[in-house]
């Protein structure tokens, strides 16, 4: 409040102050911190990625190396600050974001010992998920909630579905291995099952393709089947999305007549005209 009359904050106050900036995004300073952080994350991922392009590495290798350690230092300081200002340092360190934050700095240090592992720094990309916190006050969160809720509700059906697909793929793979054989690229059942997945998901690289008429007939049947099968997860997610969207709208219940299913921006019940309050 009256910071001018109190030139020095106590240690606990500093901690609270930093905590709000680092962990929350509801103050201007906290929001700025998060926006800067996200740009740093995106830039560091871009640097790691471009460094693997040989022509860029030859020309800008030293710059990339310097930037890499600059970002690593930045994220290390941030991680330490988070540990210091978190109410429960241990709980933060074991949380999802805590582990991701640690993984974002570890590869650089490990890369000093084990060459090659520094490329795992792209794990920093995972930190971009923090972007959703900046958008907390915007419409994105409701939308993300709908998506998350729909995917969670679909998880059993999708598990049943993936198990079925794996059994089909193994069976078809074994048949193709017998029909086409190693001379046409189907060198083993695992490799034939890999072909089965490539075909059933309609990716179709063409690195392995049936060449005998019988193999092509079986492949055609697999494709038609895949055509029907691809409809299943789509149908599942659509139905669940529809439900989740309806459920979200239903959180607005009329105190007068008890009816739900009001749009997000409604102020009055569409059936009895009563004023609505968000629950």
Min CB(210)–a copy of itself separation in Å:
9
Q: Give one word for 165, left, alpha or beta, with left for phi > 0 and alpha for psi -120 to 50.
A: alpha
Min CB(186)–a copy of itself separation in Å:
9
- Burial environment of residue 25 by CB neighbours within 10 A (0 to 12, 13 to 18, 19 or more): buried
Nearer to a copy of itself, 27 or 201 (CB): 201
Q: Provide the β-strand partners of residue 42.
A: none
Rounded to whole angstroms, how far apart are CA atoms 34 and 40? Answer: 10
Tell whether residue 66 is a contact of a copy of itself (CB under 8 A): no
Name, in order, each residue with C-beta under 8 angstroms of 63's C-beta and a sequence gap of 6 or more. Answer: none
Min CB(196)–a copy of itself separation in Å:
9
Nearer to a copy of itself, 29 or 189 (CB): 189
Query: What string marks each residue from 109 to 138 as x (binds a copy of itself by CB under 8 A) or -?
Result: -------x--xx-xx-xx-xx-xx------
Separate counts of helices (H) and strands (E) for the chain: 10, 0
Q: Helix or strand or coil: residue 37?
A: helix
Min CB(86)–a copy of itself separation in Å:
24
DSSP 173-224: HHHHHHHT-GGGT--SHHHHHHHHHHHHTT----SS---SHHHHHHHHHHHH
**Binding to a copy of itself, residues 152-181 (CB under 8 A):** 156-163, 165, 167, 170-171, 173-174, 177-178
Nearer to a copy of itself, 21 or 210 (CB): 210
Nearer to a copy of itself, 21 or 124 (CB): 124
Do 38 and 134 meet the contact criterion of CB atoms below 8 Å apart?
yes
Do 260 and 266 meet the contact criterion of CB atoms below 8 Å apart?
no
Binding piece for a copy of itself, criterion CB under 8 A, among 12-20, 86-94, 98-106, 192-200: 192-200
**Binding to a copy of itself, residues 23-52 (CB under 8 A):** 45, 48-50, 52
Rounded to whole angstroms, how far apart are CA atoms 69 and 75? Answer: 10
Nearer to a copy of itself, 22 or 150 (CB): 150
Tell whether residue 73 is a contact of a copy of itself (CB under 8 A): no
- Could you say which DSSP state residue 276 is in? P
Min CB(37)–a copy of itself separation in Å:
15
Nearer to a copy of itself, 22 or 236 (CB): 236
- In 3D, which of 78, 22, 69, 74 has the Cα closest to residue 47? 69
Beta strands in the chain (DSSP E): none
Tell whether residue 194 is a contact of a copy of itself (CB under 8 A): yes
Min CB(133)–a copy of itself separation in Å:
13
Query: What string marks each residue from 201 to 240 as x (binds a copy of itself by CB under 8 A) or -?
Result: xxxxxxx-x---x--xx-xx--xx-xxx-xxxxxxxxxxx
Total residues contacting a copy of itself (rule CB under 8 A)?
A: 98
Q: Which of 272, 277, 278, 279 binds a copy of itself (CB under 8 A)?
A: 272
């Amino acid at each position: 409040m009256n910071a001018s009359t109190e030139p020095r904050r106590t240690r606990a106050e500093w901690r609270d102050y930093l905590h709000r900036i680092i962990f929350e995004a509801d103050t201007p300073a906290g929001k700025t911190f998060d926006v800067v952080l996200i740009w740093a994350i995106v830039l560091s991922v871009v640097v790691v990625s471009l460094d693997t392009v040989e022509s860029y590495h030859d020309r800008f290798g030293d710059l990339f190396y310097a930037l890499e350690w600059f970002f690593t230092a930045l994220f290390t300081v941030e991680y330490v600050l988070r540990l210091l200002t978190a109410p429960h340092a241990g709980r933060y360190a074991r949380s999802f974001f805590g582990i991701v934050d640690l993984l974002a700095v570890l590869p650089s240090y490990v890369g000093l010992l084990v060459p090659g592992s520094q490329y795992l720094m792209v794990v920093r990309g995972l930190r971009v998920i923090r972007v959703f916190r900046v958008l907390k006050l915007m419409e994105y969160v409701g939308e993300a909630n709908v998506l998350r809720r729909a995917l969670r509700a679909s998880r059993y059906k999708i598990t049943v579905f993936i198990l079925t697909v794996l059994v089909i793929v193994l069976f078809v793979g074994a048949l193709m291995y017998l029909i086409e054989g190693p001379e046409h690229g189907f060198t083993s059942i695992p490799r034939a099952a890999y072909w089965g997945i490539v075909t059933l998901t309609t990716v179709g690289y063409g690195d392995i393709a049936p060449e005998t008429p019988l193999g092509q007939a079986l492949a055609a049947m697999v494709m038609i089947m895949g055509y029907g099968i691809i409809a299943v997860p789509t149908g599942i997610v659509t139905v669940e999305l529809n439900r989740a969207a309806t459920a979200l709208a239903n959180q607005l219940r009329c105190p007068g007549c008890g009816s739900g299913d009001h749009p997000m921006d409604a102020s009055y019940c569409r059936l009895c005209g009563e004023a609505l309050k968000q629950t």
